[in-house]
Structure 1
Amino acid sequence: MSLSLSEVHGTLSSLKSCQVDLLTGMDIVTSVAMDLAEDLDGEQDPGIDKMEALMLECAKLDREIDSLVDIVQQATSDIATLQPEDLFSLSSKVKESVATRISELSDEDLQNHQKVVTFKDSIKSCSNQADQEPEQSEDLDEDVAVTQTQINFTCPLTQVEMVNPMKNKKCKHHYDEGAIRGLIETRHNQKKKCICPVVGCGNTDVKLSDLVPDHTLRRQIQNHKQQNGRT
């Protein structure tokens, strides 16, 4: 039985790794869709609709993995309290519970998946930017432009331009992904809460669950780099 449990835990670990790759893939789809939306100048394209459908399929798979992992972990933790005769029916009970949990997934659940929400917000942002008239963009004073870049693009932890900006849903501040993840992990190992590194911020408990990728800001940073390269 111990070997079987070890195999189960190993499978769950592999499944979680696949889930991480799945979420990364969803970020890539969002980035590609943003590129397409920018090229369309606000026009609708069936390709973006197909990408949104793909995002919903990925969201469903992500939720299914969550359900499977949660139920299997609960089942393995209860094994010690089960009677021997109950172990033979454990597998079928787990399958039934997983099937029930998955059947309860609604379209609203998938639409509210954080990656799907980010996808829609990013596409909407690109469309809004395309609809706006760039009347004053070339008349910005150079010093003002530099100041805006420092405010929008610089990570408060590394003090350099962000690569993968993450937005804190609570305090709305941005940090580079690697830097904030490292800080949260360090504080966690010290058994302390992570305080937002932005000076004057009152957020004293920054959690990974509070952070979401800001694809719009990432695109702005990439465009800024391209512009600097041309000049």
Structure 2
Amino acid sequence: MIGKPGDSLSVLHRCRCNKRICDHNAEMLFQSSSILVTLVYALLPRLVYMTWPRTDASLLRLLPKMSLSSVQSTLSTLKSCQADIGGCMDMVSDVALGIVEAQGMDNSPALKKLEGMILECSRLDREINCFVESVDEMTAQVRHEPPEAMVNLRNSVKERFTELMAGVTDADLQRHSKVVAFRDSVRKYAMQAGQTAAENEEEELDEDIAVTQSQTNFICPLTQVEMVNPVKNKKCHHYYDQEAVLEMIKARHKIKKKFRCPKVGCGNTDVQLSDLELDLVMKRMIQNHKRQSGKT
């Protein structure tokens, strides 16, 4: 059925608005991330100096207890920064999917900037890991040594940290789990978004019917509640919540039975794990639906 007059212009307007919003969000996120990276980079060298107190002769007997306690406190602060870095990398990935959704491609300048940002976070995450490892190694060595050994602990940590960082390559940064997930999700989302657009053009559904159908698709036929991580069956094209369908397949296979697609009227009598694929487009649609509905 032909869409109503002006529908194409409305869709184009929404896409342009979404693109501006995504570009703005990417720029704001880039600035926020840059501030975070700058702060942690500034903090990292200071930690080596601040971790251990001054080594006056009168304090030598107290150094092991004082210094190691200070070490653990400082490392806890650094690890909390590391958690923030992980959260920032997740935000970068989410903004990237928004850009792909708005622009319909996975090679835009904005995405290149986001990729550079997530690689910088990967480097910072690795530096923190190397610093923590160097501190753990050196403190373990001096823990049972005379108090005088604490005097050179700071320099020992610096040297070990430098050694560990010298072994870090660009390939190591590229292999960071969140960097891999970023590229994989962007690639899959662009591919799935293109497939979804093509399917929608072929269906030629009325706008009201399409809205009703998309809302119905948000409900898992197994749990009868809105899906969280929707997976698509590549054979029959039905959707299920990932956790629910995996449990059902395992339960059926445990008693030597096949798992039939729970969608009413579907003739697919043998759903396999290999048939299922996480649908990032559907997942984002559900997330947008929740935001618009005011759900958490």
TM > 0.5 fold call: yes
Letter paired with 1:104: G
Q: Is the 8 A contact 2:82 2:125 kept in 1?
A: yes
Q: Determine if the alignment matches structure 1 residue 101 to structure 2 residue 176.
A: no
Match of 1:219 in 2: 284
Letter paired with 2:138: A
Q: What percent of counterpart residues are identical?
A: 34
Letter paired with 1:70: E
- Which has the larger displacement, 118-127 or 216-225? 216-225
Tell which structure's C-alpha radius of gyration is larger. 2
TM-score, normalization by structure 1: 0.66
Q: Determine if the alignment matches structure 1 residue 70 to structure 2 residue 140.
A: no
Match of 1:117 in 2: 180
Query: Per-residue displacement from partner, 1:7-60 (whole Å, max 9, x unpaired)?
Result: 111110011111001100110011011101110112631010010011000000
Q: Determine if the alignment matches structure 1 residue 12 to structure 2 residue 75.
A: yes
Letter paired with 1:106: T
Q: Quick one: distance in 2 between partners of 1:144 and 1:46?
A: 32
TM-score, normalization by structure 2: 0.53
Q: Determine if the alignment matches structure 1 residue 92 to structure 2 residue 192.
A: no
Q: How does 1:21-36 map to 2 (within 5 A)?
A: 21-36=84-99
Query: Per-residue displacement from partner, 1:106-165 (whole Å, max 9, x unpaired)?
Result: 11111110110111011112221243212349588x78984774169x69xxx7643xx5
Helix, strand or coil at the partner of 2:88 = helix
Letter paired with 1:150: C
Q: Is the 8 A contact 1:41 1:130 kept in 2?
A: yes
Letter paired with 1:66: N
Q: Report the RMSD for the aligned CA atoms in angstroms.
A: 3.7
Helix, strand or coil at the partner of 2:250 = coil
Judging changes above 3 Å, is the alpha-carbon distance between structure 1 residues 137 and 85 closer, same or farther for their aligned structure 2 residues?
farther
Helix, strand or coil at the partner of 2:84 = helix
Q: Quick one: distance in 2 between partners of 1:16 and 1:109?
A: 20
Q: Is the 8 A contact 2:130 2:164 kept in 1?
A: yes
Judging changes above 3 Å, is the alpha-carbon distance between structure 1 residues 18 and 224 closer, same or farther for their aligned structure 2 residues?
same
Q: Determine if the alignment matches structure 1 residue 150 to structure 2 residue 215.
A: no
Match of 2:119 in 1: 56
Match of 1:194 in 2: none
Q: Is the 8 A contact 1:26 1:115 kept in 2?
A: yes
Structure 1 unmatched ranges of 5 or more: 168-172, 176-196, 203-213
Q: Quick one: distance in 2 between partners of 1:89 and 1:131?
A: 60
Q: Is the 8 A contact 1:122 1:215 kept in 2?
A: no
Q: Is the 8 A contact 2:218 2:226 kept in 1?
A: no
1:88 offset after TM fit, Å?
2.1
Letter paired with 2:220: Q
Letter paired with 1:198: E
Q: Quick one: distance in 1 between partners of 2:230 and 2:163?
A: 35
